[in-house]
Chain A
Amino acid sequence: MLLIILLGLITSCLLVPLGKYFRSGRSVFLSLLPAGLFAYFASHLSHIGAGNIIYESNKWVPSLGINLDFRLDGLSLLFSLLITGIGTLIFIYASSYLKGHQYLDRFYGYLCLFMSAMLGVVLSDNILLLFTFWELTSISSFFLIGFNNDSTVSRKSALTALGVTGLGGFFLLAGMIMIGEIAGTYTIRELVTSTAIIREHQLYPVVLGLVFMGAFTKSAQFPFHFWLPGAMKAPTPVSAYLHSATMVKAGIFLLARFTPILGGTPEWSYTLMIVGGITMLYAGVHSLFRTDLKGVLAYSTIAVLGVLTFLIGLGTKEALIAASTFIIAHALYKASLFLVTGIIDHQTGTRELTQLSGLRKVLFPVFIAGTLAALSSAGLPLSFGFIGKDLIYEATLAAGPQLAVLLTIVAVSANIGLVAAGFMAGIKPFIGNLPAQLEKVKMPSAAIWLPPLVLGILGFVLGSLPGIVGDYIISPTVQVLSVEAVEFKLKIWHGFNTVLLLSATTIIAGTIVYFFNKPAISKTVFLERFNRYTPHYFFEMSWGAFKRFSSWYTDFMHNGYLRSYLIRIIVFAEILLVYELIRGGPIHIDYSKLIPISIHEGVNVLILLGALYLTVTTTSRLTAVVGTSIIGYAICLMFVFYSAPDLAITQFTIDTLTVVLFVFVLFNLPSFLVIPNSNKSIIVRDGLVAGSFGIILSLTAIKVLQVPTEKGISEFYGEFAYSLARGKNVVNIVLVDFRGFDTMFEIVVLSISALGVYSLIKLKLKTSEKE
Chain B
Amino acid sequence: MELLLVVLIGALYASGVYLILRRSMVRLLLGIILLGNGTNILIFLLGTITKGKPPVMAADMSVFTDIYADPIPQALILTAIVISFGLTSFAIVLLKRVYALLGTDDLDTLNTPQEEDV
**Complex contacts, B75 vs chain A, CB 8 Å:** 731, 734-735, 739
Chain B residues near A765 (CB-CB < 8 A): 100-101
Is the Cβ of B56 less than 8 Å from the Cβ of A729?
yes
A728 with B6: CB separation less than 8 A: no
* Contact (Cβ within 8 A) B114 A560: yes
CB pair A645–B13 under 8 Å, yes or no, is no
User: Is B89's CB under 8 angstroms from A730's CB?
Assistant: no
Query: Which of B1, B82, B95, B101 contacts A654 (CB under 8 A)?
Result: B82
Q: Which of A632-658 contact B (CB under 8 A)?
A: 632, 635, 638-639, 641-647, 650-651, 654, 657-658
Q: By the criterion CB–CB under 8 Å, are B94 and A760 in contact?
A: yes
Q: What CA separation (Å) do A603 and B6 show in the bound complex?
A: 16
Whole-angstrom distance between the alpha carbons of A734 and B23 in the complex?
A: 41
Residues of B within 8 A of A647 (CB): 74, 77-78, 81
The reply to whether B54 and A644 contact each other, CB–CB distance below 8 Å, is yes
Q: Given contacts A563-B23, A628-B33, A643-B54, are A701 and B5 in contact (CB under 8 A)? A: yes
Q: Whole-angstrom distance from the CB of A360 to the nearest CB of chain B?
A: 64
Residue-wise, chain A 592-613 has the 8 Å CB interface mask toward B (1 for contact) of 0011110001100100110010
Q: How far is the CB of B32 from chain A (nearest CB, A)?
A: 11
A445 interface hit (Cβ, 8 Å) = no
Q: Contacts A709-B70, A730-B71; is A594 near B55 (CB within 8 Å)?
A: no
Q: How far is the CA of A714 from the CA of B64 in the complex (A)?
A: 12
Select from chain B the residue with minimum beta-carbon distance to A589.
B3
Annotate B66-96 by CB proximity to A: 1 below 8 A, 0 otherwise.
0011111011011101110111111011111
Stretch at the interface among A41-49, A62-70, A255-263, A748-756: A748-756
Contacts of A621 in B (CB 8 A): 26
Q: Is the CB of B1 within 8 A of A601?
A: yes
Q: How many residues of A contact B (CB 8 A)?
A: 102
Tell me the complex Cα distance, A694–B90, Å: 27
A616: nearest residue on chain B (CB-CB)? Answer: B15
Given A654-B82, A654-B85, A673-B105, CB of A612 within 8 Å of CB of B15: yes
Determine the residue in chain B with the shortest Cβ distance to A708: B48
Assess whether B47 is in contact with A709, with CB atoms less than 8 Å apart.
yes
Interface of A: prevailing SS: helix
Are A731 and B92 also in contact (CB < 8 A) when A693-B13, A694-B11 are?
Answer: no
A560 to B110, CA, bound (A): 10
- Neighbouring A residues of B107 by C-beta, 8 Å: 561-563
> Do B78 and A631 touch (CB < 8 A)?
no
Interface of B is mostly: helix
Known: A641-B51, A643-B50. A624 touches B57 (CB 8 A): no
Partner of A594 from the list B2, B52, B74, B106 (CB cut-off 8 Å) is B2
Return the contact of B86 from the options A597, A641, A662, A753 (Cβ within 8 A). Answer: A753
Contact (Cβ within 8 A) A668 B17: no
B9 / chain A contacts, CB cutoff of 8 Å: 694, 697-698, 701
Q: Is the CB of B71 within 8 A of A718?
A: yes
Query: Is A605 within 8 A of B8, CB to CB?
Result: yes
Taken together as a complex, chains A and B put the C-alpha atoms of A141 and B10 apart, in Å, by 59
Q: Is the CB of B45 within 8 A of A701?
A: yes
What's the least CB distance linking A41 to chain B, in Å?
A: 60
Contact B89 A661 (CB under 8 A): yes
User: How far, in Å, is A693 (CB) from chain B's closest CB?
Assistant: 5
Residues of B within 8 A of A564 (CB): 118
Q: Cβ of A596 and Cβ of B92 under 8 Å apart?
A: no
User: How many angstroms between the C-alpha atoms of A561 and B105 in the bound complex?
Assistant: 14
Query: Are A668 and B112 in contact, with the CB atoms below 8 A?
Result: no
Is the CB–CB distance between A749 and B23 below 8 Å? no
Q: Is B56 touching A722 in the complex (CB atoms < 8 A)? A: no
B115 CB to nearest chain A CB (Å): 6
Instruction: Compute how far the CA of A322 lies from the CA of B21 in the bound complex, rounded to whole angstroms.
Output: 72
A576 within 8 A of B: no
Residues 689-741 (chain A) with a chain B CB within 8 angstroms:
689-691, 693-695, 697-698, 701-702, 704-705, 709, 711, 713-714, 717-719, 721-723, 728-731, 734-735, 739
**CB pair B53 A643 closer than 8 Å:** yes
Could you tell me if A735 and B78 are in contact, using CB atoms closer than 8 angstroms? Answer: yes
> Which of A645, A657, A702 sits near B54, CB closer than 8 Å?
A645
CB distance from B57 to the nearest CB of A (A): 4
Q: Report yes or no: A746 in contact with B82, Cβ–Cβ below 8 A.
A: yes
Contact across chains for A731 and B42 when beta carbons are under 8 A apart: no
Nearest B residue to A719, CB-CB: B63
Residue of A563, A643, A679, A750 touching B52 (CB-CB under 8 A): A643
What chain B residues lie within 8 Å of A665 (beta carbons)? Answer: 92-93, 95-96
Residues of chain B within 8 A (CB-CB) of A475 are none
Q: B96 to A728, Cβ gap below 8 A?
A: no
Shortest distance in angstroms between B89's beta carbon and chain A's nearest beta carbon? 5
- Name the one of A668, A691, A749, A770 contacting B96, with C-beta atoms under 8 angstroms: A668
Query: Are B90's CB and A669's CB within 8 A?
Result: no
Residues of A within 8 A of B74 (CB): 644, 646-647, 731
Contacts of B89 in A (CB 8 A): 657-658, 661, 753-754, 757
- Bound: A654/B37 CA distance, A: 12
Q: Give chain B nearest CB distance to A92 CB in angstroms.
A: 56
- Among the listed B6, B28, B34, B52, which residue makes an inter-chain contact with A615, where contact means beta carbons less than 8 Å apart? B34
| Cα distance, A220 to B92, chains bound together (Å) | 62
Interface pair B70/A714, CB less than 8 Å apart: yes
Contact B15 A645 (CB under 8 A): no
Among A605, A701, A714, A770, point to the contact of B42 (Cβ < 8 A): A701
| CA gap between A695 and B14 in the complex, in Å | 8
Is the Cβ of B69 less than 8 Å from the Cβ of A624? no
Minimum Cβ distance to chain A for residue B33 (Å): 6
Is the Cβ of B50 less than 8 Å from the Cβ of A642?
A: yes
A718 touches B64 (CB 8 A): yes
* B18 A687 Cβ-Cβ under 8 A: yes
Chain B residues lying within 8 Å of A624, measured Cβ to Cβ, are 26-27, 30
Tell yes or no: A559 within 8 A of B by CB.
yes
Chain A nearest CB from B104 CB (Å) reads 10
Q: How far is the CA of A150 from the CA of B48 in the complex (A)?
A: 70
Q: Does A567 contact B (CB under 8 A)?
A: yes
Chain A proximity of B81: nearest CB distance (Å):
5
Q: How far is the CA of A303 from the CA of B105 in the complex (A)?
A: 68
The residue from A635, A686, A746 contacting B18, defined by CB atoms under 8 A apart: A686
What's the minimum C-beta distance from A227 to chain B, rounded to whole angstroms? 36
Question: B92: shortest Cβ distance to chain A, in Å?
Answer: 5
**Per-residue B-contact encoding for A265-305, CB less than 8 Å = 1, 0 else:** 00000000000000000000000000000000000000000
Q: Which residue of B lies closest to A641 (CB)?
A: B51
By the criterion CB–CB under 8 Å, are A756 and B78 in contact?
no
Report the separation of the CA atoms of residues A754 and B77 in the bound assembly, to the nearest whole angstrom: 21
Q: Is the CB of B90 within 8 A of A635?
A: no
Interchain CB contact under 8 A, A722 and B57: yes
Shortest C-beta distance, B66 to chain A (Å), equals 11
Asked if B70 contacts A711 (CB within 8 A), the reply is yes
Known: A566-B21, A567-B21, A628-B34. A560 touches B1 (CB 8 A): no
Residues of B close to A644: CB separation below 8 A: 44, 54, 69, 74, 77
Query: Knowing that A729-B56, A734-B72 are A-B contacts, what are 8 other residue pairs whose CB atoms are under 8 Å apart, sorted by A's residue number?
Result: A559-B115, A621-B26, A650-B82, A682-B117, A687-B18, A728-B56, A728-B57, A770-B100
A-B pairs with beta carbons under 8 Å apart, 15 shown: A566-B20, A570-B17, A594-B3, A596-B1, A597-B4, A635-B41, A644-B74, A665-B92, A690-B18, A694-B13, A705-B2, A714-B71, A760-B90, A760-B93, A760-B94
Q: Which residues of B contact A (CB under 8 A)?
A: 1-24, 26-28, 30, 33-34, 37-38, 40-42, 44-59, 61-64, 68-72, 74-75, 77-79, 81-83, 85-90, 92-97, 99-102, 105-108, 111-115, 117-118
The 5 tightest CB contacts between A and B, nearest first, are: A694-B14, A698-B10, A753-B86, A690-B18, A643-B69
